[in-house]
Structure 1
């Protein structure tokens, strides 16, 4: 399959009327798969109502079929077509954060989407992206679009179109290049089918921001206790992992440097994921700088691209600094833990 590459300037007006958007929307209506930018990461979109289209997503990504997909919409009228009801807490969150990086889980209206989208569950995950190209494409095609991240399953999510091309060129109908994404990590997923909303995946909207809008928000215990079974099926899978083993290192920089030195003496090529504040203090075979510790949102924006750079350098081992789980830092640490397969090295501070 030849993958068509459309370039779109997200700053232009009336994007839904642009030939590139119209052509990409037509491919979606033909039940083909098209990658497009959102404010979080690039999504791999297909008609949420078509089994044929959704099967192409799972095939292109190599994604497990029990891992549900998020449905993207451009209007609240579309939401009413997908859901049985909209709980008051969901309405509050939608008012505050839609369009934006928040996915809300609702009770699904029967036959509203393909069973392959929801993996047989009686709920559906929906969000309205805050990106002009995404909204233009959704408007032009007039369909609810299921769209996981546009990467090979298990690898770092794509934040530029080149990442998508690297992973999926020849496997999908087209890629809409709208430039780099903004947030850098995927949307927060929150289940609003229960009396108290439950965060199933931390992301672009923090628990602190949501608790300023609704009375109470809880967190799925599986996010803090690995012995717990996650409520979201997809959370049991390893994601975002570079080819080399990655370890999270919690300790002083001097101690981390000792770890690096020890592994290099053993003949291993060692890389480290550091920040602007610490990068110059390390000696390693490869040092990747990922944003500023003073501005955790810059780390979120650069995280996946930084993880992808390790595969270009082919280290034997990667160490990664860790960050406070405050604000979007919770999402950063969730992605790093999954990339590392929950492998930690902690300094004994006794």
Structure 2
């Protein structure tokens, strides 16, 4: 895909990290691996940098961004932490948990990052490449998934380039992401009550929110492969690319052994293969609604929902 920028592919070594940090300091866009998916990183404290994320992704302005920080102290400069939030952060950070908390009034954030909300979505990632970059800079990073808005999330540098080549400054090739699905998002309400806004790799005992858009990944149609998707299929039609699981064989299998962690790590890779195939439709085998299977099924249901 052509575009305004010559997208560099950087290594995950010291030189690649230094080059990525320099691009980010100047307000540029760099796709960076995390333990969940590749994120499209830019300065969260500059309006022009945040605007470039929305432009590159074609992202709707009402959809907020997740802010990535290097430490809990850095997070406290952006959000208000009550006892519940502190407990969750200490227990799960660094890791695939995003907290939606009241935004500090003096937080140095571009308005677009929070999409006009009084809350901010924030997390401390646990991937060595992203952590190395955050240690190199002195500002937080906004980093939604590094793909065109609404489409399949990327778990490799090749996935990023398939969607954003020529639209961003650089991508760091750090190999395939381990978790394979985006972070669990939890909102901490007044009084310490918590709600799940988006299921993810971490299971947290809380009710699922039925409210409006407060965080990424809540749109009804999302993660779309650009073809009709049929779920809970044990026998595919001839014109369907089947994504298998366990005893259901497929053109691509999430996990022949029925391992849900492996299924999560392979979910987007299989969807990318299905999207690129010559078959016009996609079928997906049943996946148990347990553990990380809840997050897998959440993504599949959104992928199967036609856009408005």
- In 1, distance between residues paired with 2:133 and 2:23? 11
Unaligned ranges ≥5, structure 2:
none
Looking at secondary structure, tell me which structure has more helix per residue. Answer: 1
1:2-43: CA deviation from partner (whole Å, max 9, x where unpaired): 11111115xxxxxxxx22211110111111111100000000
Shift in CA distance, 23/206, structure 1 to aligned 2, threshold 3 Å:
same
The one of 302, 307, 310 aligned to 2:271: 307
State the secondary structure of the residue aligned to 1:236. coil
Per the alignment, residue 8 of structure 1 pairs with 12
Number of aligned residue pairs: 301
**TM-score w.r.t. structure 1 length?**
0.82
Unaligned ranges ≥5, structure 1:
10-17, 212-216, 223-228, 344-350
Contact 1:87–1:193 (8 Å) recurs in 2? no
Contact 1:325–1:333 (8 Å) recurs in 2? yes
Per the alignment, residue 244 of structure 1 pairs with 227
Q: CA deviation at 1:272?
A: 1.1
Contact 1:7–1:176 (8 Å) recurs in 2? yes
- In 2, distance between residues paired with 1:145 and 1:232? 16
- In 2, distance between residues paired with 1:101 and 1:234? 14
Structure 1 stretches of 4+ with a deviation exceeding 4 A read 229-234
- In 1, distance between residues paired with 2:115 and 2:70? 23
Per the alignment, residue 346 of structure 1 pairs with none
Per the alignment, residue 347 of structure 1 pairs with none
1:94-138: CA deviation from partner (whole Å, max 9, x where unpaired): 121100000001110124211100000000010000100000001
Q: CA deviation at 1:238?
A: 1.6
Q: CA deviation at 1:242?
A: 1.1
**TM-score w.r.t. structure 2 length?**
0.93
In the alignment, structure 1 residue 162 sits paired with structure 2 residue 191: no
Per the alignment, residue 242 of structure 2 pairs with 272
The one of 84, 95, 99 aligned to 2:94: 99
Q: CA deviation at 1:276?
A: 4.5
Q: CA deviation at 1:220?
A: 0.8
Please provide the CA RMSD for this pair. Answer: 1.8
- In 1, distance between residues paired with 2:213 and 2:257? 29
In the alignment, structure 1 residue 109 sits paired with structure 2 residue 104: yes
State the secondary structure of the residue aligned to 2:121. strand
Q: CA deviation at 1:230?
A: 5.2
In the alignment, structure 1 residue 50 sits paired with structure 2 residue 46: yes
Contact 1:188–1:199 (8 Å) recurs in 2? yes
- In 2, distance between residues paired with 1:321 and 1:294? 11
Bigger mean CA offset, 168-177 vs 43-52:
168-177
In the alignment, structure 1 residue 142 sits paired with structure 2 residue 151: no
